[in-house]
Amino acid sequence: MAVYSAAAAVLAGVESRQGSLKGLVYASNFKNVKQLYALVCETQRYSAVLDAVIANAGLLRAEKKLRPHLAKVRQGVSRNEDLLEVGSKRGSASQVPRFVRVNTLKTCAEDAIDYFKRQGFSYQGRASGLDDIRALKGKCFLLDPLLPELLVFPAQTDLHDHPLYQAGHLILQDKASCLPAMLLAPPPGSHVIDACAAPGNKTSHLAALLKNQGKIFAFDQDAKRLASMATLLARAGVSCCELAEQDFLTVSPSDQRYCQVQYILLDPSCSGSGMPSRQLEEPKAGMPSPERLRALAAFQQRALSHALRFPALRRLVYSTCSVCQEENEDVVCAALQQSLGAFRLAAVLPSWPHRGLGAFPGAEHCLRASPETTLTGGFFIAVLERVEVPR
């Protein structure tokens, strides 16, 4: 059938690094893109198991041109056990549950839960820990143990066509990506800067925490991403946000418009090396080249140091969906040093299981996240707070 040949071509393209999985699916000109994407993802999801079965059946020895053999050579894996380890990493990435943030600007968790129950989903209450989430299957769902308005569904649940999502009552957002706004925690009425804001998931979360009271100055320099952000914010009922197409580095900290900004969210462009979709495509596909890493880290550090110059700033959250130390702990360490003691890391979520790498004293206050340790995408968060000088 055409869909199988199209899927085979996409998988071959991914293997030979002709492009990303999503990119190749869209470039395939196949009529039913959704069906093709689903088939390719499923094949990828089970590829480790298929590889192992083929290997164990002795086919590798008999037929040297089989894909598992090529995969071993390219990934520098020399033993079947290592191949399985690579497979299990991919497996964890594919097991990241579907997290759904209830948009409290439009509804409440109780109403959303009732809606799902009426649709035949079975509500299991608030999870007591990660084991409850790991055990989720079928049409069961939970409330997250940490975030008050986060629903958790099994990994394969697709809610993109769900009426509550279409109406902006639900935001499909990974749990790790909900932490930055939650940890910034601006009270209603505050002035907040979202420095690199598009496509706006965290902005809409901030607006919900502000209850639309106060002001979010949201910047992004990408016009296309800002356009989709405007649609997302309108759908989510956000009314306290001013969007600007502007390089954050050119936003003046001494501009009177920002004199009340006490909270900044900085979620800059990064390598995306922690994104589960990248890990599904190819274990090391998301890893940037040394040059790209240097360029990204240089921008991230400039942006962070710039943000720390806003005079009324009290609290800042720095986050990335990268797992590279150069984009995370190293950036934070350099900015703290540059601030000459004006800012320090806040000790947040002491029970969070995955902490910052020990790159500098205090780095354990940073948070990391991964499919294996927190059942989320790979993520990094640091909360910086101004050191109050006693009067």
Q: Could you give the C-alpha distances from 117 to 102, 149, 166, in angstroms and in order?
A: 15, 16, 18
Catalytic position from the list 321, 324, 333, 366? 321
Strands 150-153, 261-266: pairing is unpaired
* Residue list 227-256, contact with ligand SAM (CB under 6 A): 247-249
Alpha-carbon span 360 to 358, nearest angstrom: 6
Query: Nearest approach, Cβ of 212 to ligand SAM (angstroms)?
Result: 18
Q: Which is nearer to ligand SAM, 44 or 279 (CB)?
A: 279
User: Interface with ligand SAM includes 219 (CB under 6 A)?
Assistant: yes
Measured from the CB atom, the residue of 199 and 237 that comes closer to ligand SAM is 199
The CA-CA-CA angle for residues 364, 365, 370, to 5°, reads 70
Dihedrals phi, psi of 92, to nearest 5 degrees: -60, -40
Does residue 220 belong to the site contacting ligand SAM (CB under 6 A)? Answer: yes
How many residues contact ligand SAM, by CB under 6 A?
18
Residue listed under structure tokens 């594919």 = 94
The residue whose two tokens read 């509550």 is 164
Residue with tokens 């900004």: 261
201 makes contact with ligand SAM (CB under 6 A): yes
Q: Kindly state whether residue 200 participates in binding ligand SAM, applying the rule CB under 6 A.
A: yes
Residues 6+ apart with CB under 8 A from 127: 133, 142, 143, 144, 145, 152
Q: Per CB under 6 A, does 68 bind ligand SAM?
A: no
Residue placing its CB nearer to ligand SAM in the complex, 220 or 330: 220
Q: Which stretch binds ligand SAM (CB under 6 A): 13-21, 219-227, 289-297, 329-337?
A: 219-227
- Under the binding rule (CB under 6 A), the answer on residue 80 touching ligand SAM is no
Query: Would you say 107 or 173 has its CB closer to ligand SAM?
Result: 173
Q: CA angle at residue 329 from 354 to 88, to 5 degrees?
A: 40
| Among residues 68, 237, 268, 371, the one that binds ligand SAM under rule CB under 6 A | 268
259 in active site: no
- Closer to ligand SAM by CB, 156 or 269: give it: 269
Task: Give the CB-nearest residue to ligand SAM.
Answer: 196
Answer for which of 75, 80, 221, 325 binds ligand SAM (CB under 6 A) is: 221
Encoded tokens for 247:
């390089």
- 196 binds ligand SAM, rule: CB under 6 A: yes
Q: What contacts 87, CB < 8 A, 6 or more positions away?
A: 47, 48, 49, 51, 52
Does residue 274 bind ligand SAM (CB under 6 A)? no
Residue 153 binds ligand SAM, judged by CB under 6 A = no
Considering only the stretches 36-44, 135-143, 193-201, 356-364, report the one whose residues sit in contact with ligand SAM under the rule CB under 6 A: 193-201
Q: Could you count the other beta carbons within 10 Å of the beta carbon of residue 336? A: 21
Question: Least distance from C-beta 86 to ligand SAM, angstroms?
Answer: 27
Alpha carbon distance 119, 151 (integer Å): 15
CB of 179 to ligand SAM, least distance (A): 11
Nearest Cα to Cα of residue 273 among 288, 259, 260, 294: 288
Distance separating alpha carbons of residues 17 and 26, to the nearest angstrom: 15
For residue 199, state whether it binds ligand SAM (rule: CB under 6 A).
Answer: yes
- Cα dihedral sign, 295-301-306-307: positive
Residues that bind ligand SAM (CB under 6 A): 196-202, 219-222, 225, 247-249, 267-269
Active site residues: 321
